Amino acid sequence: MSLWVLFDIELLDDPSFVALASADPAHPWRWMRIIQFAKRANEKGRVLRADGRPVTTRDLALTHDRTTATEGTWQDLLTMCLAEGLLVEEDGGAYRIADWRRWHRSPSDFPEAISERVGKHRKRQRTERVTTRYKNDVTLCNACNDSEAEAEAEAEAEAPPCSPPEGDGSGAGSGFAGTTPSPNGNGKRSWAQAAVAILVEHLPGNLSTQERQALARLSETGGRVGAPPERALDAIRTHAYSVAYETQFPNHGIHYPRRVALERALADVSANPLGPLPNPWDTDKRGGRPT
């Protein structure tokens, strides 16, 4: 693992460092060798050898210059460093960097940074736990929905066909019983047939028992509140298209689109029996589809 020291950009203009460079241009590099010994020793700035003994001028000369001929130069440097306050000589003869924090930082020197880093780590762990729990919940939910869909399929196979209740065709009474023009203009069909055709146009598939019951409730409620049959068909068209649009996106949460569209249409007709119908500029005239 690489070891690093800090290099303060103000050091080049520091009076003590300038004094070293003035005495000998090579002294700043010799000073960095002393810093290297202190960093490797990792004893709060003490300049020690690998065996833990104090570094001598001979050690410095051999390490830096590969010769003992420069011991005198190193002694001059150490004397100057002591005079400039860069080094402190301890009782045992070992030298110590006077301002070690200028060259070295330990994690305890930055409590704010540590707190911030720990906070980010804990937040990331919480997010991962929530994500895992959400995925597990979605898996369980899908399993429940699959079971419910299977139960619906079984009920669908056993239950007889269910049609919307018939009325007098006026839009009042127990439900819608009148006829409505077919989209292609070839004859007419019952309201129930028109409603199913609109629903499956946007949300294809066979209607389940629950969906046919929801359609019957819509017919009955529309007749009871005096809504015109076309108003109910427009509500089905609007909300079927809206649900079809929503289900294009992931995590939409709509497990039974046709039933949701019918329930929304029922609430819409109950709240506004007479409309308003969509404005001309909000519809596609080719199929009456909201744009």
Flag whether 22 is in a domain.
yes
Among 125, 158, 191, the domain-final residue is 158
CATH number at residue 43: 1.10.10
Q: Of 105, 122, 141, which closes a domain?
A: 105
Q: Is 33 a domain residue?
A: yes
Query: In terms of domains, do 116 and 210 share one?
Result: no
How many domains does the chain contain in total?
3
pLDDT of residue 78: 97
Answer whether residue 4 is part of any domain. Answer: no
Residue 152 shares a structural domain with residue 84: no
Q: According to the model, what pLDDT value does residue 122 have?
A: 84
In a domain, 190, yes or no: yes
Query: Phi/psi at 289 (nearest 5 deg)?
Result: -90, 130
Residue 122 shares a structural domain with residue 44: no
Residue 168 has what pLDDT?
39
Q: Does 34 map to a domain?
A: yes
Do 50 and 94 share a structural domain?
yes
Domain end: 158, 178, 194, which one? 158
3 found inside a domain? no
- Do residues 286 and 165 both lie within one domain? yes
Low-confidence ranges of the chain (pLDDT < 50): 138-141, 143-144, 155-173, 181-187, 280-281, 283-291
- Please indicate, yes or no, whether residues 184 and 100 belong to a single structural domain of this protein: no
Q: What is the pLDDT of residue 95?
A: 97
Residue 179: per-residue pLDDT = 52
pTM: 0.39
Provide the residue range defining the domain that includes 33: 9-105
14 lies in some domain:
yes
Question: How confident is the model at residue 285, as a pLDDT?
Answer: 46
**So what's the pLDDT on residue 239?**
93
Q: Are residues 151 and 164 located together in one domain of the fold?
A: no
Tell me, what's the pLDDT at 258? 94
pLDDT tens-digit profile of 27-61?
999 999 999 999 999 999 999 999 999 999 999 99
